Structure 1
């Protein structure tokens, strides 16, 4: 009975932390007027989740969240909107190729659609990479874009897990205001964090200093 009680307390603590992180994400996204707040808030959320999952020092939810939000405000916006820009260009290319009545353009258009989907997947990857590694700006972008192609098994597991989560949310929509962002981000970080422990090398760049870091492509 004591073991069951301890497990219940442990689960309760996790749910409590995810609740706090969800409200922090919403609040700081609004603080940045949405367009400037969503990527710094997402980066801060992943950074706190990483610290929590890796058992690095005591996690101070609000203080740590505010630190990562402020410290990497412009960098996280730059990373997020570069990926969004790439996705937008691929979507425009897809629409253009599909508007031309040619079999070759039809095939090329569907290749653009595939790349567009993978570029969207990169948005789920870029901030975990950013929180875990110290790379140059272009290496962050490169790793985020290549990761979905080189880790298909991980991406399939991620897609199945998130699909199951959103099926549950669809059945119980009242779940969204409380864990609608923090829980799926927790799932993402939990699944892909182990894949970040493979390659190490030194890199240089203005985006972050020179350091032994991990790189994934």
Structure 2
């Protein structure tokens, strides 16, 4: 069992819910700093990131989205989220089959092919648009213990990874669109935000 799965086992999906910054928060435009210390503080932060991602719910979350400009993101495209009715008649969600991934200081060494996939973002809730990404890639990164890992990633997993890595470079997914489309979606989101009083 790796350190990430240990974290999940140990806290049984308990953690501190972090504030997710929404567009156009300045931190979302900043290029994040490399992680140099692999300590308990980092592990606690990552645990809270995972908790925040699962509760949102989302399939990926980058450190800048929760106010910390460091090169870390978490993702899990495999977990199940089932709506359940409780004894008092209210509904809740049961999460299971966790397969969390933590990438620290990721670097893409190779990008191959092309795919178009509809994307959304926890920093732009309610906005979805098709984005062009590489179909597969080779990523080098560090885990929570600072070990260096190299992996080949394909299809939707590659989309999620590229989306989250963009956050580390101060890029949100609408920045990948034409200027016209980006402006239209930004206006739409800011209207939604105002309506909801966010």
TM-score for the superposition, normalised by structure 1: 0.29
Greater helix fraction, Structure 1 or Structure 2: 1
Bigger share in strand:
2
TM-score normalised to structure 2 length = 0.31
